[in-house]
C-alpha cells in the first residue's frame, strides 16, 4: 500500500515478521563521550529514580554518554573528574580530534562478526547522541558547530559490514535533545521534558538528518530518542520511510509536545511530577502518536503484551563505555540469558548495548558476555528465534525451578532457568497427548515423560552440562490447563 502522512494511514503498518522473529539486536553507543569514558557507577536507571528521584539521577548520572550534561552540574562526580583530569578550561568539543584520531584504527568488520557470533539479528548505531556530534559526514552541517562530525563515515562503514554478515542495520538519532541547540543543563525530570529544542531551525535540522539517513543508508529501524520537536514533520517522515522501506520499523520515542515551553505547561508538569517520575522510574517515556514497538529501558514487562516491545539496556549501568565499570556492575552470562528468555516469552526483543572505547575496541568483559550469549543460542536458539508468546509466559515446576514458555505451531518450548534437581522436571498444568515427543535441545534422543494428573513429568539426565538455562521442545504442543 501507499502510506499517507496521517495517523489513520500509518497505523495500518503491521510490525513485520522479521522483527517479531529476530529477538536480539545489538545497540552501539559510540561518540565523543567514549574518549573520557567516565561516569560514577550509581546504579540502574529504574532503581535510582524510583528510590532517590530524578535530581539524584542526573547529579550522579551513570550513563557515560551523558558526560557533557553531567560536567555542567556543579559538584557532580563527573565535573570533578573532568576538571581534575583535563582542566576546567578544556571544552567538550576538544574531544573531537581525539575521537577522530582514535577511530582511524577501527575495524567495522570485527564488530559485525562479533555481533553475528552473539546471535544478534539486527544492529542499531547511535548516529547522533545528545551532544550533537554526528557519526556520518552529513550534507546538513550544524549551524553552531560547523563540521561537527566524524572524519570517517562510521555509519556507512558499519552498515556495510553488518549487512555483509546477513544482519539488518538500524539507526538511532537523538531528536529530543541536542545540546548544540539547547545547552541548558538537565537536572531533573522537568528540565528533561523542557530540554527539546523547539525552534523552527532545529525542527528542519532534525527532519533533514532523518531524511538523509533514510535515503543514504536505508535503515531497517528508526530509533529516535527522548522526544521530537513539535514543528517536526513526523507523519510525512514516517510515510516516506514506509513507502521506501515497507519492512522498516519505528520506535515509540517520537513524542511531540510544546507543553514544557510555556509557563502554564510547566505548572501542569510540576503538578504531574510524581506521575512523570514514576513513569521514568518504570523505564518509560511518553510515547509518540505512532510507533511499531515500545522501548522500556533497564526493565521488562511482567506479562505478555498484545503489542511488540523491545527491552533496551547496557551490559552494565551505562550505555557508553565507562572505564569505572568492572565485573561487579556487569550482568553475568547467566543473568543475561535468563533475562533474555524472560523478555522473549512476553513478546519482547532485547536490544543489548555495547559501549566501545574511542578506538572501537570492545572491552573484554563485554565481549565475553556477547560470546556467552551466542554460545547458549547456538544450542537453544530454536526456542527463541521465530517463536511467539504462548497462552502463558512463565511458571514454576513442581520442583521449584522457574520456567519460561515460547511457542511455534509445531512445538511448545519450556526453558528451565536452572538445572532441575534429581533429573526430574514436572511442568504444572500441561497435558500432553499420546505420541508426544520431548527433547532437550542439544541432545538427539527423546526424553521419557508421563502424565501425572494435570502435570507433565519429564525425566532428564541426572547430570547436565553447566548452562544458564535448559530448553525443552514438546511436540505437538500440550494442552494448557489454567
DSSP states of 128-170 as a string?
Answer: E-TT--BSS--SS-BTTTBS-B-SS-HHHHHHHHHHHTT-EEE
What CA–CA distance (Å, rounded) separates 192 from 308?
Answer: 26
116 to each of 16, 129, 370, 468, how far by Cα in Å? Answer: 21, 25, 10, 20
How many CB atoms neighbour CB 375 within 10 A? Answer: 17
Task: Tell me the pTM.
Answer: 0.96
Q: Is the pLDDT of residue 213 over 90?
A: yes
Express each pLDDT in 129-171 by its tens digit.
999 999 999 999 999 998 999 999 999 999 999 999 999 999 9
Express each pLDDT in 315-366 by its tens digit.
999 999 999 999 999 999 999 999 999 999 999 999 999 999 999 999 999 9
Q: What are the domain boundaries of the chain?
A: 7-383, 394-480
Percentage of residues in the chain having pLDDT higher than 70 = 95
Q: Would you call 364 exposed, middle or buried from its count of C-beta atoms within 10 A (0-12, 13-18, 19+)?
A: exposed
Give the pLDDT mean for 386-393.
98
Q: Is the pLDDT of residue 287 over 90?
A: no
Give the pLDDT mean for 16-36.
98
Q: Is the pLDDT of residue 263 over 90?
A: no
Q: Are 48 and 335 in contact (CB under 8 A)?
A: no
Q: How high is the pLDDT of residue 277?
A: 65
What CA–CA distance (Å, rounded) separates 433 from 101?
Answer: 64
Q: For 394-480, CATH number?
A: 2.60.40.1180
Query: C-alpha cell of 455?
Result: 502435570
Residue 444 DSSP SS3: coil
Q: How high is the pLDDT of residue 190?
A: 86
Query: C-alpha cell of 273?
Result: 511530577
CATH topology of domain 7-383: TIM Barrel (3.20.20)
Amino acid at each position: 500500500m501507499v502510506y499517507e502522512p496521517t495517523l489513520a494511514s500509518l497505523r495500518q503498518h503491521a510490525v513485520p515478521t522479521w522483527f517479531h522473529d529476530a529477538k536480539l539486536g545489538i545497540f552501539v553507543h559510540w561518540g565523543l563521550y567514549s574518549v573520557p569514558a567516565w561516569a560514577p557507577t550509581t546504579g540502574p536507571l529504574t532503581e535510582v529514580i524510583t528510590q532517590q528521584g530524578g535530581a539524584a539521577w542526573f547529579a550522579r548520572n551513570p550513563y557515560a554518554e551523558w558526560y557533557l550534561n553531567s560536567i555542567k552540574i556543579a559538584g557532580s562526580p563527573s565535573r570533578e573528574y573532568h576538571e581534575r583530569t583535563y582542566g576546567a578550561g578544556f571544552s567538550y568539543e576538544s574531544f573531537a580530534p581525539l575521537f577522530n584520531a582514535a577511530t582511524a584504527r577501527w575495524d567495522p568488520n570485527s564488530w559485525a562478526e562479533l555481533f553475528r557470533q552473539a546471535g544478534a539479528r539486527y544492529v542499531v548505531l547511535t548516529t547522533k547522541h545528545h551532544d550533537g556530534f554526528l557519526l556520518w559526514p552529513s550534507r546538513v552541517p550544524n549551524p553552531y558547530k560547523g563540521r561537527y562530525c566524524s572524519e570517517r563515515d562510521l555509519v556507512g562503514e558499519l552498515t556495510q559490514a553488518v549487512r555483509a554478515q546477513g544482519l539488518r542495520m538500524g539507526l538511532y538519532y537523538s531528536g529530543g535533545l541536542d545540546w548544540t541547540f539547547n545547552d541548558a543543563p538537565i537536572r531533573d525530570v522537568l528540565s528533561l521534558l523542557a530540554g527539546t529544542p523547539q525552534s523552527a531551525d532545529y525542527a528542519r535540522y532534525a527532519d533533514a538528518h532523518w531524511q538523509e539517513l533514510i535515503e543514504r543508508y536505508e535503515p531497517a529501524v528508526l530509533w529516535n530518542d527522548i522526544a521530537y520537536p513539535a514543528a517536526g514533520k513526523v507523519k510525512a517522515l514516517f510515510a516516506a520511510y514506509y513507502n521506501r522501506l515497507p519492512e522498516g520499523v519505528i520506535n515509540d520515542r517520537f513524542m511531540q509536545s510544546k507543553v514544557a515551553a510555556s509557563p502554564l505547561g510547566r505548572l501542569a508538569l510540576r503538578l504531574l511530577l510524581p506521575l512523570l517520575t514514576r513513569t521514568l522510574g518504570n523505564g518509560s517515556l511518553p510515547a509518540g502518536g505512532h510507533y511499531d514497538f515500545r522501548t522500556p529501558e533497564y526493565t521488562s514487562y511482567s506479562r505478555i503484551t498484545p503489542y511488540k516491545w523491545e527491552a533496551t539496556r547496557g551490559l552494565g549501568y551505562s550505555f557508553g563505555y565507562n572505564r569505572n565499570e568492572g565485573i561487579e556492575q556487569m550482568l553475568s552470562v547467566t543473568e543475561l540469558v535468563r533475562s533474555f528468555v524472560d523478555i522473549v516469552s512476553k513478546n519482547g526483543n532485547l536490544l543489548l548495548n555495547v559501549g566501545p572505547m574511542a578506538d572501537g575496541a570492545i572491552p573484554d568483559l563485554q565481549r565475553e558476555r556477547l560470546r556467552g550469549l551466542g554460545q547458549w543460542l547456538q544450542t537453544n536458539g530454536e526456542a527463541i528465534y521465530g517463536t511467539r508468546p504462548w497462552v502463558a509466559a512463565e511458571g514454576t515446576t513442581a520442583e521449584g525451578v522457574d520456567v519460561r514458555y515460547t511457542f511455534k505451531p509445531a512445538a511448545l518450548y519450556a526453558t528451565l532457568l536452572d538445572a532441575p534437581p534429581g533429573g526430574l522436571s514436572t511442568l504444572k498444568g500441561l497435558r500432553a497427548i499420546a505420541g508426544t515427543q520431548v527433547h532437550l535441545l542439544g541432545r538427539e534422543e527423546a526424553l521419557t515423560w508421563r502424565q501425572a494428573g494435570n502435570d507433565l513429568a519429564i525425566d532428564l539426565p541426572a547430570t547436565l552440562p553447566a548452562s544458564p538455562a535448559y530448553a525443552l521442545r514438546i511436540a505437538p504442543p500440550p494442552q494448557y490447563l489454567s
